[in-house]
Amino acid sequence: MSPRAAPWKTLNEVTLSVLVPAYNEGPTVAEVMDRLADVPLKLEIVAVNDGSSDDTGVHLDRLQREGKIHKVVHHPRNRGKGAAIRTAVAAATGDVMVVQDADLEYDPAELVDLIQPILEDRADAVYGSRFLGGPHRVLYFWHRVGNWALTMFSNMLTDLNLTDMETCYKMVRSDLMKRLPLTANRFGFEPELTARLAQAQARIYEMQITYSGRTYAEGKKISWKDGVAAIWHILRFNLVRPTL
């Protein structure tokens, strides 16, 4: 698969599909949508309630009725972040796609900067890196070490020089995203998408973003078990290559 040049050149001509996987994010999902409403871009917001056991689905349906979300899809059971993103990709119709977690760790105001390399045809995908020196909440040392190790291992197999493979903010041209053979159901989505983009010889750009990580008491879900699983995902998605 060879990436082709983007046919859009200005912010006014492009629609950005914001893919929002949500699992038990009832306390924060409405504020995320309010922040997205302030972004000076033409947005298509596609939210997937991934079998939440709290009131996330109720909030999403209300926000859709209020016109703050364009499409809501409900998974009858929890299938994982990767599965929710695949559902959102299938439902999205915009020119560019970006993943937006339903918590408050990432700032949607930065989407305007992240999309620029794609609009200028300098990139097919843009990663927002938490580790390029931007402002961030000070939290867990071993999480930082784990992210560094996984990114380094991924880079060894993809031959990329990313600083933050696990970032949520991955923005990709829609025509490319819809052709990638993505299969991971849970947090394996991050190394899988990175591997598939590298295999497609996509032009990847990386930009500094701010980051306000949350604690486990505040609802953080990823754990050391996901880090161990990520090692396996990195291996299998890089060593087993589908036809692109």
Give residue-wise pLDDT tens across range 156-176. 999 999 999 999 999 999 999
pTM score over 0.75: yes
Tell me: pLDDT of 226 over 70.
no
Across the chain, mean pLDDT equals 89
> Does 244 fall in a domain?
no
Question: What tokens does 200 get?
Answer: 């497609």
CA-to-CA distance for 197 and 51, rounded, in angstroms? 29
How many residues are listed for the chain in this entry?
A: 244
Can you give the pLDDT at residue 11? 80
Sign of the CA dihedral running 102, 106, 107, 113: negative
pLDDT at 212 > cutoff 90: no
Is 2 contained in some domain? no
Contact 60, 22 (CB under 8 A): yes
Asked, for residue 217, whether it belongs to a domain, the answer is: yes
User: Does the pLDDT of residue 214 top 80, yes or no?
Assistant: no
pLDDT in tens, 2-41: 455 555 568 888 999 999 999 999 999 999 999 999 999 9
Whichever domain contains 23, its CATH number is: 3.90.550.10
The per-residue pLDDT for range 124-155, each reduced to its tens digit, is 999 999 888 766 554 556 567 778 899 999 99
Decide if 95 is inside a domain. Answer: yes
- Indicate if the pLDDT at residue 215 is higher than 60: no
Task: Please give the pLDDT value at position 218.
Answer: 44
**One-letter amino acid of 9:** K
Number of structural domains found in the chain: 1
Q: Provide the residue range defining the domain that includes 96.
A: 11-239
Residue 1: inside a domain: no
The phi-psi region of residue 67 (left if phi > 0; otherwise alpha if psi is between -120 and 50; otherwise beta) is left
pLDDT category, 1, cuts 50, 70, 90?
Answer: very low
Looking at the predicted structure, is the pLDDT value of residue 101 above 50?
A: yes
Each residue's pLDDT tens digit, 63-76: 999 999 999 999 99
Residue 114 lies in a domain: yes
In a domain, 6, yes or no: no
pLDDT at residue 98 is higher than 60: yes
What is the 3 state secondary structure string of the chain?
Answer: CCCCCCCCCCHHHCEEEEEEEECCCCCCHHHHHHHHHCCCCEEEEEEEEECCCCCHHHHHHHHHHCCCCCEEEEECCCCCHHHHHHHHHHHCCCCEEEECCCCCCCCHHHHHHHCHHHHCCCCCEEEEECCCCCCECCCCHHHHHHHHHHHHHHHHHHCCCCCCCCCCCEEEEHHHHCCCCCCCCCCCHHHHHHHHHHHCCCCEEEEECCECCCCCCCCCCCCHHHHHHHHHHHHHHHHCCCCC
